[in-house]
């Protein structure tokens, strides 16, 4: 199965300064479990490269408010059988900023599990571009892939662009993706109004519901280790 979308070549790349950048390059060795929770508001660029070995697990959670142009780039290679990775972001963009999120996953091992879940609430005239790319090689004979992009627009000029790409070269792997980008529904706003909640507060509540869904667990992790 191959699902591809053209990259947004019409937009020039963000140029990041070295000040405030977060860079991580690691090997998650067999049997290890590694998790990081990073506050996007502290960094102009987040660049993560990792190689995940047999039986290992890796979790990268990115949260916070984006108030200046920001790049988030996660490149993960799954090279060991029965490895697990979870990549997620839960962020707000504000003002006139742009945030580019790019996740590139390369799977060459069997029985791996990959989950990507990016959630962005875009306020004002801010923009977010989210690209999720997963490549599974032909020799892989088992595993599961699930990618999700959810965006909410708060502001007439706000935008969120979703670019999912699945390149699955085998029929032995379960793969799925989902995309949802919308403004708060009139029905939800009307319901809040009927409960005495004003429009601005209702918009905030609905956005919070997207970024912090019921039942989600706080990830325990290392924060911003440089």
Q: How much is the pLDDT for 204?
A: 85
Report the alpha-carbon distance of residue 128 to residue 122 in Å, rounded.
7
194: Cβ–Cβ under 8 A, 6 or more apart, which residues? none
Q: How much is the pLDDT for 2?
A: 42
Domain ranges (residues) in the chain: 2-183, 185-216
> Buried b / exposed e across 33-44, counting CB within 10 Å, b at 16+?
ebebbbebeebb
**Cα-Cα end-to-end distance for the chain:** 39
pLDDT digits (tens, 9 = 90+) for 102-119: 999 999 999 999 999 999
Q: Report residue 172: phi and psi, to 5°.
A: -95, 0
CA distances from 149 to 13, 46, 145, 175 (A): 21, 19, 14, 15
Q: How much is the pLDDT for 165?
A: 93
Q: How much is the pLDDT for 122?
A: 96
Q: How much is the pLDDT for 155?
A: 84
Low-confidence ranges of the chain (pLDDT < 50): 1-10, 16-19, 214-215, 217-226
pLDDT digits (tens, 9 = 90+) for 11-26: 555 554 444 689 999 9
Q: Is the dihedral of CA 105, 168, 108, 78 positive or negative?
A: positive
pTM, rounded to two decimals? 0.84
């Amino acid at each position: 199965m191959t699902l591809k979308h053209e990259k947004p070549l019409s937009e020039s790349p963000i140029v990041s300064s070295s000040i405030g950048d977060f860079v991580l390059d690691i090997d998650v060795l067999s049997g290890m479990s590694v998790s990081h929770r990073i506050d996007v508001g502290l960094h102009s660029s987040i660049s993560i490269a990792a190689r995940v070995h047999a039986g290992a697990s890796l979790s990268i959670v990115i949260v916070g408010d984006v108030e200046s142009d920001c790049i988030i780039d996660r490149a993960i290679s799954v090279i060991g059988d029965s490895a697990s990775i979870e990549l997620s972001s839960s962020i707000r963009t504000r003002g006139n900023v742009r945030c580019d999120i790019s996740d590139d996953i390369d799977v060459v091992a069997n029985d791996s599990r990959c989950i990507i879940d990016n959630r962005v609430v875009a306020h004002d005239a801010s923009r977010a571009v989210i690209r999720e790319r997963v490549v599974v090689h032909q020799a892989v004979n088992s595993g599961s892939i699930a990618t999700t992009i959810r965006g909410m627009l708060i502001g007439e000029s706000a935008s969120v662009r979703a670019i999912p790409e699945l390149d699955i070269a085998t029929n032995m792997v379960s793969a799925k993706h989902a995309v949802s980008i919308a403004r708060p529904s009139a029905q939800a706003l009307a319901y809040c109004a009927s409960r005495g909640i004003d429009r601005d507060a209702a918009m905030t509540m609905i956005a919070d519901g997207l970024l912090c869904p019921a039942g989600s667990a706080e990830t325990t992790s290392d924060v911003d280790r440089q």
